[in-house]
Chain A
């Protein structure tokens, strides 16, 4: 007997999504908008104007106390005690073998206070691991995921849309920084972070029940600036174009940060031991078993996760993420290939249900905004 399927949780914005005609899907145990109309139009709106995302499924875990910084230095691969108040870091939590349990964004809210943002599916694991690893440190770990709603506004016009609604001078908020401000009169953590390759902000709203008001205010402010609500489908193609890894696809517990080409997030020069240090030091010295590459199809047929990558007819890797790129107008994919593979020579194809589709190997990311 299998467990009965659990009913997905709804975010505070569910009614708004339904009114907007969203297709709602179960994503990591949450009922989330996949798209509101055309996902391609939503994608393009984020590249050319702005899009509004509900990211309330993400996990928020707070660490507060005199040793919050030391506890995080021990628990994560990054050097979080070095992060200045008001700034954020992209980092990872690994197990003792160096396998990635999740990739995280950590905000330093105060000298003794951090907010760790985890992927929805991993939030309980991250929360439990942080609580476990914080033992012996003078710090309190609390999973506040249920208290927060998270709204992201992303795109070249995000600043002009948000500016009239906030007490913040947005010019003062640098990329990867976040501060307590108000948006539509609501106290929020306002952070210049995102997952689309565009400029933009993430707005952490607590209590979550205030999120619909903040969302509506943003939609109204953006009405004349091309702002549209955007779903998970657009979010996925945007992050793919930007070459950003997704947990469960490019990142898994079977891979170290070095396999994923993200070894730079591992900070060996910090004081004290941290979980995974020995395994990661070894991984940093040995040749990478796998390497993440970008592929662009020569034809129009989409490339998909799980399809085999072949070089001169020999299988050399597997696609982890693939989709048509609305910006490039051609299918793109990220794939792991053998670490020592020479991608400069040979003819590359992807086995799409028995047919070899010609692809070009390209540098990641596929898209980089001009700024």
Chain B
């Protein structure tokens, strides 16, 4: 399973990358694979304040619903609108075109896992 080294991770299977104070958030390939074919996403609207560790959306596959937890605190500035018509992009490109939303950080994220730590975590779950 791919786990890009340049990203930070949460134990709940989100990934995050920060550039110029803006965090881009998605769910990992491991999460997407575990869910199966993703058929619907519910994302926070632009302008919403999200809090690290709090739910901010849902990802639904054929068989299940999974909460999305924000790995960061801040204001949502952009959501990936392309997912509305093509939620399966999360399966095919979870770390690229399948990103979920971008948020302007109100504080630096803490407690993120490195790729190595996240890989260890998921190995235990496979």
Binding site for B on A (CB under 8 A): 23, 34-35, 38-40, 233, 237, 300-302, 304, 323-324, 331
Contact = CB atoms under 8 A, between A and B. Distances in A.
A28 B60 CA distance: 24
B60 A301 contact: yes
B65 A304 contact: yes
B37 A38 contact: yes
Given A39-B62, A40-B62, A324-B62, A301 B40 contact: yes
Given A23-B36, A38-B36, A38-B37, 16 more contacts: A38-B91, A39-B37, A39-B62, A39-B63, A40-B88, A237-B62, A300-B39, A301-B42, A301-B60, A302-B40, A302-B62, A304-B65, A323-B62, A323-B63, A324-B39, A324-B62
A35 B61 CA distance: 13
Contacts of B39: 300, 302, 324, 331
B36 A39 contact: yes
Contacts of A301: 40, 42, 60
Contacts of A237: 62
A191 to B, nearest CB: 28
Nearest to B87: A300
B122 to A, nearest CB: 15
A39 B91 CA distance: 12
12 contacts: A38-B37, A38-B91, A39-B36, A39-B62, A39-B63, A40-B62, A233-B36, A233-B63, A300-B40, A301-B42, A302-B39, A324-B62
Nearest to A301: B40
Contacts of A23: 36
Contacts of A38: 36-37, 91
Contacts of A35: 36
A180 B91 CA distance: 44
> Residue among A23, A35, A39, A302 with the most chain B CB within 10 A?
A302
The contact size tier of chain B is 10 to 19
A312 B81 CA distance: 31
Chain A, interface SS category: mixed
Interface string B23-61: 000000000000011011010000000000000000010
B77 to A, nearest CB: 24
Contacts of B63: 34, 39, 233, 323
Contacts of B36: 23, 34-35, 38-39, 233
A25 to B, nearest CB: 10
A323 B65 CA distance: 11
Nearest to A43: B62
B44 to A, nearest CB: 15
A35 B87 CA distance: 19
Interface in B72-126: 84, 87-88, 91
Nearest to B33: A23
Contacts of A40: 37, 62, 88
A301 B60 CA distance: 8
B33 to A, nearest CB: 9
A319 to B, nearest CB: 14
Nearest to B42: A301
A350 B116 CA distance: 43
Contacts of B88: 40
Contacts of A39: 36-37, 62-63
Contacts of A300: 39-40, 84, 87
B38 to A, nearest CB: 10
A38 B63 CA distance: 12
Contacts of B65: 302, 304
Nearest to B34: A23
B88 to A, nearest CB: 8
Contacts of A324: 39-40, 62
A94 to B, nearest CB: 30
Contacts of A323: 62-63
A3 to B, nearest CB: 25
Nearest to A302: B60
